[in-house]
């Protein structure tokens, strides 16, 4: 069966260090991180990546009040992506447009807020908000986006832990190839910094980063790494079948080339390097490529002591003889944006097709020998000889792995 | 409390739940829904905020009493005064 080629035609994002692709990319090439301290309910000041986009750019004040942060981030990213794609909303076939948004979790923030609210009223549930259910349904971020844009095609979220950003793109490509929709808005988002539960959970797991300098706290591959910096963020793309994009002479960022999603089936939280390597290999095979054809590998590494080593083991086994493969990490700049991570991290690398620059992994003062992969780009960007394919890893709890490959668009 | 004071209480709540609306020209004898973009969830907000901020209960059978500022003041003023 010959599958349609699917291309990326628009990008909208908000990250802790940028609210447009240009700003984000510029900061990645210039070593500018975006981590700060925030006051987390019950826990006090903690490190986090916070987005500083203007919600009122695309929402009314009432929409912001009634909706969720995840919905607001989704709307911002969707509107930015659509504008970037050059497709006017009033000409979009809204019933043939799909919205597929990956998220790590949804509903924790809103449920915690309501419990906190009723705690002020002696836990009397008659003070519980009538907005609780529309705010916490799992499709909330996609549903709010469909409401804001008036899109009437399928709109739902994809729950895939921290692999979710890649899953949004992969699912959208599949739906386009199946002919279910003609235009897709897809990627991943996260509002996780607004739930204390995520912070408390990682802290109880001894996996929460600490550092006196917030901007140095997220340090994958460094010997002194001590855990995750939790971030919010979002990145949504517009995807189209190649023939449709070409018919309207769209700008094309790259082509969805291959992917794989698999499961460890081995532990609730511990990663499995064998399954990760399998995921990477299968994605390369799915793309019809070899490891030597991959010129940038964006790692999932979250700066946990064990997780980074295991991903490096997986990558080392696949990219053993690949002198032109560069390996980097975006979490060192923005922390772990959870459901948005995969989508944001891919976006940060896509401009490399045009400028051949590879952004580095920052905050590596003392490289852990167990993470010393050949091709690791440390602290400063490098100029690549060529960038024809980017491989993007995103892994999540309960052992879900996703690898997505985007290649330079060649007609 | 006077009826005007109760109207102001309701207006303060509406200002919070409908922050995009201009309330300066609101006519107190005309239905709120005819002048503002308010839906059924917003009316539940008014009921909830009366409960939270002022301890005033409005049973579902009386929701129609909140149709306009005048009818709200007429209905709510005795409730406020019964509290004090």
The CATH number of whichever domain residue B65 belongs to comes to 1.10.1200.10
Tell me how far CA of residue A211 lies from CA of A51, A226, A228, in angstroms. 20, 9, 11
Q: Which of B40, B48, B63 to mutate to test the interface with A (most CBs of A within 10 A)?
A: B48
Structural domain including B56 reads 3-83
A62 touches chain B (CB under 8 A): yes
**Element containing residue B6 per DSSP (H, E):** helix B3-17
Which residue numbers in chain A have pLDDT < 50?
none
B-proximal residues of A, 243-302, CB under 8 Å? none
pLDDT at A149 (0 to 100): 98
What is the pLDDT, as a whole number, of residue A3?
87
- Domains of chain A, by residue range, sit at 6-247, 257-407
| Binary contact (B48, A130; C-beta < 8 A) | yes
Give the DSSP letter string of A370-404. GG--TTB-BSS-EE-S---EEEEEEEEGGGEEEEE
**A194/A41 Cα distance (integer angstroms):** 9
Query: CA nearest A124 in B: which residue?
Result: B52
Backbone φ and ψ for A37, nearest 5 degrees, come out as -100, 135
Q: Which residues of A155-182 are buried (b: 16+ CB within 10 A; e: fewer)?
A: bbbbbbbbbbbbbbbbbbbbbbeeeebb
What tens-digit pLDDT sequence spans chain B (84 residues)? 999 999 999 999 999 999 999 999 999 999 999 999 999 999 999 999 999 999 999 999 999 999 999 999 999 999 999 987
Say which of A51, A103, A162, A371 is annotated catalytic: A162
Report the number of distinct structural domains present in chain B.
1
Catalytic residue among A171, A336, A359, A371, which? A336
Contact between chains at A129 and B48 (C-beta distance less than 8 A):
yes
Contact B6, B73 (CB under 8 A): yes
Q: Write down the pLDDT at residue B36.
A: 96
**What letter would DSSP give residue A120?**
T
Give the pLDDT score at A345: 98
Task: Choose the closest CB to B51 out of A65, A66, A127.
Answer: A127
Q: Do A60 and B20 touch (CB under 8 A)?
A: yes
Q: Which residues of B touch chain A, with CB atoms under 8 Å apart?
A: 17-20, 41, 44-45, 48, 51-52
Which of 114-143 (A) contact B at CB < 8 A?
121, 126-127, 129-131
Matching fold, domains A6-247 and A257-407: yes
Strand-pairing partners, residue A404, are: A259, A392
Contact yes or no for A158/A100 (Cβ under 8 A): yes
Residues of A in contact with B20 (CB under 8 A): 60-62
Q: What is the pLDDT of residue A390?
A: 98
Residue A2 at interface with chain B, using a CB cutoff of 8 Å: no
Burial class (CB in 10 A: 0-12, 13-18, 19+), A269: middle
Contacts of A126 in chain B (CB under 8 A): 51
Tokens of A171: 């699912």
A336 is catalytic: yes
Report the 10 Å Cβ neighbour count for A251.
13
Cβ–Cβ < 8 Å for A15, A334: yes
**Residues β-bridged to residue A181:** none
Active site residue A51: no
Angle at A191 between CA A187 and CA A192, to 5 degrees: 115
Query: Which DSSP state fits A407?
Result: E
pLDDT of res. A210: 96
Q: Is A279 marked active-site?
A: no
β-strands A97-103, A183-190 pairing? parallel
Residue A273 CA to residue A279 CA, distance in Å, equals 10
What pTM value is reported for the model?
0.97
- Distance, in Å, from the CA atom of A184 to the CA atom of A169, rounded to the nearest integer, reads 9
Q: Which residues lie closer than 8 Å to A28 by C-beta, 6 or more apart?
A: A17, A330, A333, A348, A359
CB atoms within 10 A of CB A212: 6
Residue A30 burial (10 A CB sphere; 0-12, 13-18, 19+): exposed
CB contact under 8 A, B41 and A60: no
- Best of B13, B19, B20 to disrupt the A interface (most A CBs within 10 Å) is B20
Our separate counts of H helices and E strands in chain A read 14, 15
Partner-chain contact B52 A121, CB within 8 Å: yes
CA–CA distance, A163 with A349 (Å, rounded to integer) = 17
User: What fold, for A6-247?
Assistant: Peroxisomal Thiolase; Chain A, domain 1 (3.40.47)
Nearest one of A182, A193, A197, A196 to A238, comparing CA atoms: A182
A264, A267, A269, A271 alpha-carbon torsion, rounded to 10°: -40
Phi, psi for A209 (deg, rounded to 5): -70, 145
Please provide the DSSP assignment of A122-159 as one string. Answer: TT-GGGS-TTHHHHHSTTHHHHHHHHHHT--S-EEEEE
Q: What is the pLDDT of residue A2?
A: 78
Residues A111, A41 contacting (CB under 8 angstroms): no
Q: In the prediction, which pLDDT does B54 show?
A: 97
Sequence-separated (6 or more) residues with CB below 8 Å from residue A185: A78, A81, A82, A97, A98, A99, A100, A145, A151, A172, A236, A237, A238
Q: How far is residue B62's CA from residue B46's CA, in Å, rounded to a whole number?
A: 13
| CA–CA separation, A275 and A393 (whole Å) | 12
What pLDDT sits at residue A18? 98
What does the DSSP assignment read for A205-237? TT-B---SSGGGS--TTBTT---BPEE-EEEEE
Would residue A316 be called left, alpha or beta, if left means φ above 0 and alpha means ψ between -120 and 50 degrees? Answer: alpha
Q: Mutation target for B interface from A127, A128, A130, A147: give the one with most B CBs within 10 A.
A: A130
CATH 3.10.310.70 fits A257-407, yes or no: no
d(CA A338, CA A193): 10
Residue A263 has φ and ψ, to the nearest 5°, of -130, 140
- Residue B17's closest chain A neighbor by CA? A62
Q: Are A406 and A390 in contact (CB under 8 A)?
A: yes
């Amino acid at each position: 069966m010959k599958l349609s080629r699917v291309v990326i035609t628009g990008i909208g994002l908000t990250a802790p260090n940028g609210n447009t692709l240009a700003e984000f990319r510029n900061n990645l090439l210039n070593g500018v991180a975006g981590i700060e301290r925030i006051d987390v309910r019950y826990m006090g000041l903690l490190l986090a990546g916070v987005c500083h986009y203007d919600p009122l750019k695309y929402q009314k004040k009432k929409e912001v009040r009634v909706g969720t942060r995840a919905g607001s981030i989704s709307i911002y990213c969707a509107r930015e992506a659509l504008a970037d794609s050059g497709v006017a909303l009033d000409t979009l076939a809204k019933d043939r447009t799909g919205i597929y948004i990956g998220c790590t979790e949804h509903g924790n923030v809103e449920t915690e807020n309501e419990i906190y609210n009723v705690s002020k009223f002696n836990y009397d549930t008659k003070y519980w908000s009538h907005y609780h259910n529309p705010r916490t349904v799992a499709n909330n971020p996609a549903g709010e986006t469909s409401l804001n844009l008036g899109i009437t095609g399928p709109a739902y979220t994809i729950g895939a832990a921290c692999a979710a950003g890649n899953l949004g793109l992969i699912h959208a490509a599949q739906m386009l190839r199946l002919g279910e929709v003609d235009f897709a808005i897809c990627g991943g988002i996260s509002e996780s910094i607004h739930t204390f539960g995520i912070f408390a959970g990682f802290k109880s797991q001894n996996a929460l980063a600490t550092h006196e300098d917030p901007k140095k706290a997220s340090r994958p591959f460094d010997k002194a790494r001590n855990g995750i910096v939790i971030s919010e963020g979002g990145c949504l793309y517009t995807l189209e079948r190649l023939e449709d994009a070409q018919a309207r002479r769209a700008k094309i960022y790259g082509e969805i080339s291959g992917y794989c999603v698999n499961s460890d089936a081995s532990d609730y939280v511990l990663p499995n390097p064998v399954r990760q390597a399998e995921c990477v290999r299968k994605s390369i095979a799915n793309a019809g490529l070899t490891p030597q054809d991959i010129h940038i590998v964006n790692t999932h590494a979250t700066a946990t002591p064990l997780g980074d080593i295991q991903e490096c083991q997986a990558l080392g086994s696949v990219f053993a003889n690949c002198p032109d493969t560069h390996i980097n990490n975006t979490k060192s700049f923005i922390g772990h944006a959870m459901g948005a991570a995969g989508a944001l991290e891919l976006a940060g690398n896509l401009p490399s097709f045009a400028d051949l620059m590879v952004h580095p992994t920052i905050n590596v003062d003392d490289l852990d020998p167990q993470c010393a992969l050949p091709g690791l780009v440390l602290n400063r960007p490098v100029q690549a000889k060529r960038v024809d394919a980017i491989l993007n890893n995103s892994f999540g709890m309960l052992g879900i792995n996703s690898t997505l490959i985007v290649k330079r668009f060649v007609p | 409390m006077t009826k005007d004071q109760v109207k102001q209480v309701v207006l303060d709540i509406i200002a919070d739940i409908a922050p995009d609306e201009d309330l300066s020209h609101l006519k107190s004898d005309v239905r709120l829904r005819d002048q503002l973009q308010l839906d059924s969830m917003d009316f539940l907000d008014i009921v909830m905020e009366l409960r939270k901020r002022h301890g005033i209960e409005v049973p579902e059978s009386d929701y129609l009493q909140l149709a306009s500022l005048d009818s709200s003041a007429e209905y709510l003023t005795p409730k406020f005064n019964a509290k004090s």
